Chain A
Amino acid sequence: MADGSSPVKLSGGAAVAVAPEGTGGGCCSELSAELIRSLTELQELEAVYERLCSEEKVVEEELDALLEQQSPIESKMITLHRMGPNLQLIEGDAKQLAGMITFTCSLAENVSSKVRQLDLAKNRLYQAIQRADDILDLKFCMDGVQTALRNEDYEQAAAHIHRYLSLDKSVIELSRQGKEGSMIDANLKLLQDAEQRLKAIVTEKFDIATKEGDLHQVERFFKIFPLLGLHEEGLSRFSEYLCKQVANKAEENLLLVLGTDMSDRRAAIIFADTLTLLFEGIARIVETHQPIVETYYGPGRLYTLIKHLQLECDRQVEKVVDKFIKQRDYHRQFQLVQNSMMRSSAAEKIEPRELDPVLTEVTLMNARSELYLRFLKKRVSSDFEVGDSMASEEVKQEHQKCLDKLLNHCLLSCTMQELIGYYITMEEYFMRETVNKAVALDTYEKGQLTSSMVDDVFYIVKKCIGRALSSSSIDCLCAMINLSATELESDFREVLCNKLRMGFPATTFQDFQRGVTSAVNIMHSSLQQGKFDTKGIESTDEAKLSFLVTLNNAEVCSENISTLKTTLESDCTKLFSQGIGGEQAQAKFDSCLSDLAAVSNKFRDLLQEGLTELNSTAIKPQVKPWINIFLSVSHNIEEEEFNDYEANDPWVQQFILNLEQQMAEFKAGLSPVIYDSLTSLMTSLIAIELEKVVLKSTFNRLGGLQFDKELRSLVAYLTTVTTWTIRDKFARLSQMATILNLERVTEILDYWGANSGPLTWRLTPAEVRQVLALRIDFRGEDIKRLRL
Chain B
Amino acid sequence: MSMEDYDFLFKIVLIGNAGVGKTCLVRRFTQGLFPPGQGATIGVDFMIKTVEINGEKVKLQIWDTAGQERFRSITQSYYRSANALILTYDITCEESFRCLPEWLREIEQYASNKVITVLVGNKIDLAERREVSQQRAEEFSEAQDMYYLETSAKESDNVEKLFLDLACRLISEARQNTLVNNVASPLPGEGKSISYLTCCNFN
- Cα distance A372–B43 in the bound complex, in angstroms: 19
- Cα distance A590–B156 in the bound complex, in angstroms: 31
Q: Does the CB pair B43–A475 fall under 8 Å? A: yes
A560 at the B interface (CB under 8 A) = no
A636 at the B interface (CB under 8 A) = no
Q: For window 468-498 of chain A, which residues contact chain B by CB distance below 8 Å?
A: 473-476, 478-480, 482-483, 485-486
A215 vs chain B, min Cβ distance (A): 37
Which of chain B's residues has its CB closest to A404's CB? B39
Option from A405, A479, A482, A591 in Cβ contact (under 8 Å) with B39: A405
Q: For window 118-136 of chain B, which residues contact chain A by CB distance below 8 Å?
A: none
Q: Which of A416-424, A509-517, A710-718 contacts B (4 or more CB under 8 A)?
A: A416-424
Q: Does the CB pair A424–B46 fall under 8 Å? A: no
A408 at the B interface (CB under 8 A) = yes
A235 vs chain B, min Cβ distance (A): 25
A588 at the B interface (CB under 8 A) = yes
B192 at the A interface (CB under 8 A) = no
A587 at the B interface (CB under 8 A) = yes
Chain B residues near A383: list those with CB within 8 A: none
Option from A417, A422, A425 in Cβ contact (under 8 Å) with B42: A417
A633 at the B interface (CB under 8 A) = no
- Cα distance A717–B80 in the bound complex, in angstroms: 49
Chain A residues near B40: list those with CB within 8 A: 409
- Cα distance A363–B67 in the bound complex, in angstroms: 23
Q: Does the CB pair B81–A425 fall under 8 Å? A: no
Option from B39, B73, B81 in Cβ contact (under 8 Å) with A424: B73
Query: Which of A404, A417, A474, A483: most chain B Cβ within 10 A?
Result: A417
**Number of residues from B at the complex interface, CB < 8 A:** 19
Chain B residues near A478: list those with CB within 8 A: 44, 74, 77
Per-position contact with A for B57-89: 1 when CB-CB < 8 Å, else 0?
Answer: 000010000000111111001101100000000
Which of chain A's residues has its CB closest to B79's CB? A482
A237 vs chain B, min Cβ distance (A): 30
Q: Does the CB pair A421–B71 fall under 8 Å? A: yes
A473 vs chain B, min Cβ distance (A): 8
Per-position contact with B for A333-351: 1 when CB-CB < 8 Å, else 0?
Answer: 0000000000000000000
User: Which size class do A's interface residues fall under?
Assistant: 20 to 34
Option from B39, B61, B72 in Cβ contact (under 8 Å) with A408: B39
Q: Does the CB pair A408–B42 fall under 8 Å? A: yes
A641 at the B interface (CB under 8 A) = no
B173 vs chain A, min Cβ distance (A): 19
Q: Does the CB pair B74–A421 fall under 8 Å? A: yes
Chain B residues near A474: list those with CB within 8 A: 43
Q: Does the CB pair B46–A476 fall under 8 Å? A: no
A5 vs chain B, min Cβ distance (A): 80
Q: Does the CB pair A479–B73 fall under 8 Å? A: yes
Which of chain B's residues has its CB closest to A426's CB? B73
Per-position contact with B for A581-600: 1 when CB-CB < 8 Å, else 0?
Answer: 00010011001000100000
B139 at the A interface (CB under 8 A) = no
- Cα distance A420–B46 in the bound complex, in angstroms: 20
CB contact under 8 A between A483 and B77, given known A408-B42, A409-B40, A478-B44: yes
- Cα distance A483–B76 in the bound complex, in angstroms: 9
Q: Does the CB pair A475–B42 fall under 8 Å? A: yes
Chain A residues near B48: list those with CB within 8 A: 587
CB contact under 8 A between A424 and B77, given known A417-B70, A591-B61: yes
- Cα distance A479–B61 in the bound complex, in angstroms: 17
Chain B residues near A424: list those with CB within 8 A: 73-74, 77
Q: Does the CB pair A475–B70 fall under 8 Å? A: no
Chain B residues near A53: list those with CB within 8 A: none
Q: Does the CB pair A418–B80 fall under 8 Å? A: no
CB contact under 8 A between A475 and B80, given known A421-B73, A422-B73: no
Q: For window 16-67 of chain B, which residues contact chain A by CB distance below 8 Å?
A: 39-40, 42-46, 48, 61
A414 at the B interface (CB under 8 A) = yes
- Cα distance A413–B66 in the bound complex, in angstroms: 14
CB contact under 8 A between A482 and B77, given known A421-B70, A421-B71: yes
B182 vs chain A, min Cβ distance (A): 14
Chain B residues near A408: list those with CB within 8 A: 39, 42
Chain B residues near A587: list those with CB within 8 A: 46, 48
- Cα distance A476–B80 in the bound complex, in angstroms: 16
Per-position contact with A for B81-99: 1 when CB-CB < 8 Å, else 0?
Answer: 1000000000000000000
- Cα distance A664–B94 in the bound complex, in angstroms: 71
B59 vs chain A, min Cβ distance (A): 11
Q: Does the CB pair A414–B70 fall under 8 Å? A: yes
B148 vs chain A, min Cβ distance (A): 28
Q: Does the CB pair A482–B42 fall under 8 Å? A: no
Per-position contact with A for B139-150: 1 when CB-CB < 8 Å, else 0?
Answer: 000000000000
Which of chain A's residues has its CB closest to B44's CB? A475
Q: Does the CB pair B73–A417 fall under 8 Å? A: no
Chain B residues near A476: list those with CB within 8 A: 74
Which of chain A's residues has its CB closest to B40's CB? A409
Option from A418, A483, A485, A588 in Cβ contact (under 8 Å) with B44: A588
- Hey, which bits of chain A sit against chain B, CB under 8 A? 404-405, 408-409, 413-414, 417-418, 420-422, 424-425, 428, 473-476, 478-480, 482-483, 485-486, 584, 587-588, 591, 595
A-B contact pairs, 18 of them (CB 8 A): A404-B39, A417-B70, A421-B72, A421-B73, A422-B73, A424-B74, A424-B77, A473-B43, A474-B43, A476-B74, A479-B73, A480-B77, A482-B77, A584-B45, A587-B46, A591-B46, A591-B61, A595-B81
- Hey, which bits of chain B sit against chain A, CB under 8 A? 39-40, 42-46, 48, 61, 69-74, 77-78, 80-81
Task: Give me 10 other A-B pairs in contact (C-beta within 8 A), A475-B43, A478-B44, A482-B78 excluded.
Answer: A408-B39, A409-B40, A421-B70, A421-B71, A421-B72, A479-B74, A482-B77, A482-B81, A483-B77, A588-B46
